[in-house]
Copies of this chain bind each other. A is one copy, B any other.
Amino acid sequence: MKKWVPAVSGLAAGLLAATVFFADFSSGPSGSASTDTANKNKSNAEKVYVPFGEKDEYYLMASGGHSGQMFVYGVPSMRKIRTIPVFSPDSATGYGYDQHTKEMLGNYTWGDLHHPAISETNGEYDGKYLFATDVANSRAAVVNLETFTTRDIIDVPNTSGPHCAAFVTENTEYMFLPTRFAVPIGSKYESLDDYSEKYRGVMSAVTFDEKNEKLNIAYQVALPPWSYDLSDAGKKMSKDWAVMTTYNTEEATTNLEINASQADRDYIVLFNWKELEQKVKNGEYEDVDGQKMIFPEKQKGGIYLVPVAKSPHGVDVTPDGTRFIASGKLAPAMTVFSFEKAFKAIENKEFDGERNGIPVLKYESVMEREVNPENALGPLHTQFDDKGMAYTTMFISSEIVKWNPNTGETLDRVAVQYSPGHAAAAEGDTVSPDGKYIVSLNKLAKDSYLSVGPSHPESMQLIDLTGDKMEIIQSAPVDPEPHYAQMIKADKIKTIPIYDIDKKNPAAVTKAEETRIERKGNEVHVYGLAMRSKFIFDAKAKRPDVIEVNEGDKVFIHLTNVDLDQDITHGFGINKYDLNMEVQPGQTNTLEFTANKAGTFPLYCTNFCSALHQEMTGYLLVKPKK
């Protein structure tokens, strides 16, 4: 039985004196009458069960929040298949320990990965790459989906938390990375009393060089010192455009909970990236610490502000590219804006003055419809199905509302447990969503699962969209913290079974005869191999699996996995030296360290590889200084 429970919400304390929770504790997630429960559960169980021999239909690529990593799930089973280490080290895969990944991570030990984006071709997920940004330490990364490994990480200067990203344009021409926090350019020290003059909200236009698997900052835009929250790229008729929400256009410098919620309207930044690209080609920018920086108040054009209900959290472009929908988390409404109207308003200069040198479009000239489903509170993000219908998460009333963007009509509602942030629909950010599933990414699980102490897991709930009504069919606890996810058809991902040994890599060896230990001064280079079930560092030595060095030596252990057999990964750990790396079939990796502790240190394969895995060991002997 459904009931409306009026309650003073702890969640929204200080925001709304009383809110309404859409609670449905008595009859399971789908709100069916209790007599139907057994049957409904039976059918839901079958819907999500993937027996051995079958595979999930979709990959769900989910952000791992302040874990810094990406999480890969299968849909509909909602089983987590893999953690892809991106912004934080991961000893389970040796990520951040071998020379290459250690260098890629720099000295950072964590990240806060918010919004993953799959690369697109013609507005469809192409399954080739996955992009992500780090709010904590202002970075961007790209993951190759042939191998599910991170290939490049870049720092994004002049920015503090590219939260707003990543969303790619229709052919992965750009990702736009605006800052969540305004900072002085170069992040240098400036008093907050000078906030409006000295701070900026810089956006970076990032490109991806697929051949070299490198990210690159094409140009930056010094936007006003506001907070930029979420963005989306245009599609089809709006493909040259992108939109971003802002908050704290009040330019408050303290207690944002209250001070950033004063103005009735914040803005959506609407910009034409083709025009900005041309501007850069024309030299209309300033060089700032090596970055091509557009200052909108000086290099005018291509950027507009659209007033929007206060403190919006999300903005989403419809699959047909005709509209963008923003939700004001402090105003209980979704607003539908028309690209066509916006283009006309720009042409006709229907402006309401400027903010910080950027023209403000008249709200009425761009707005098409305000939608306010009864008692739906805290609208955040919108996804779409194959019919163009919209699904908006309601953070405060803990539900997903299905509605028609063409009419504003509310079509269906489903209670989720609890407080959804984003939702992710099947192929949801493409020009052709599938309409089969949507996953609600919930911030709080509370009593949903077995208790694990004062802090509970978050949750993801899978919703079946194929019936008359939305129906929750599975609920999966997740580690912190599901911000956003994209769901891609499984057959679009083409992984490789093994690596080819890179014979051009001087660190690689292909057979035992090539293994050797070379000393150059106090540098020791080990060219070794791993194979079931032994390490060979120097086949000619009395003990081929022993490395002996002197205290203080700089040691490079180059290791190639010559087991060219799918799934036979070897690890390489050295006891008490706090080192571990992984070599997947065919891979060569290097561990670099200084032998600063004298003594006897066993080394071993850390990744179970065969019946004699336990015997795959050796020793590092470090001879003490005289």
Contact A254 B544, beta carbon cutoff 8 Å: yes
Q: Which of B52, B256, B567 contacts A617 (CB 8 A)?
A: B256
Which residues of the other chain, B, contact A149 by a CB distance below 8 angstroms?
A: 453
Binary interface encoding of chain A residues 445-468 relative to chain B, with 1 for a CB under 8 A from any of its CBs, else 0: 110111111111110000000000
- Given the interface contacts A45-B45, A607-B481, does A452 sit within 8 Å of B188 by beta carbon? no
Which residues of the other chain, B, contact A53 by a CB distance below 8 angstroms?
A: 25, 28-29
Contact B329 A580, beta carbon cutoff 8 Å: no
CA distance A111 to B585 in the complex (A): 23
Contact A449 B56, beta carbon cutoff 8 Å: yes
Shortest C-beta distance, A186 to chain B (Å), equals 8
Contact A576 B137, beta carbon cutoff 8 Å: yes
Interface residues on A, range: 35 or more
Binary interface encoding of chain A residues 174-209 relative to chain B, with 1 for a CB under 8 A from any of its CBs, else 0: 000000110110111111100000010000000000
- Given the interface contacts A44-B51, A495-B451, does A604 sit within 8 Å of B14 by beta carbon? no
CA distance A490 to B580 in the complex (A): 35
Contact B66 A146, beta carbon cutoff 8 Å: no
Contact B52 A147, beta carbon cutoff 8 Å: no
Which residues of the other chain, B, contact A11 by a CB distance below 8 angstroms?
A: 532, 610-611
Taking the complex as formed, is A528 at the interface, i.e. its CB lies under 8 A from any CB of chain B? no
CA distance A481 to B280 in the complex (A): 50
- Given the interface contacts A107-B578, A254-B546, A575-B181, does A92 sit within 8 Å of B480 by beta carbon? yes
Taking the complex as formed, is A72 at the interface, i.e. its CB lies under 8 A from any CB of chain B? yes
Taking the complex as formed, is A261 at the interface, i.e. its CB lies under 8 A from any CB of chain B? yes
Q: 3 tightest CB-CB pairs across the interface, nearest first?
A: A91-B110, A45-B49, A181-B602
Contact A109 B578, beta carbon cutoff 8 Å: yes
- Considering only residues 509-564 of chain A, those with a C-beta below 8 Å from chain B are 532-534, 542-546, 563
- Considering only residues 20-41 of chain A, those with a C-beta below 8 Å from chain B are 25, 28-29, 37, 41
Contact B112 A453, beta carbon cutoff 8 Å: no
Contact A584 B67, beta carbon cutoff 8 Å: no
CA distance A601 to B138 in the complex (A): 11
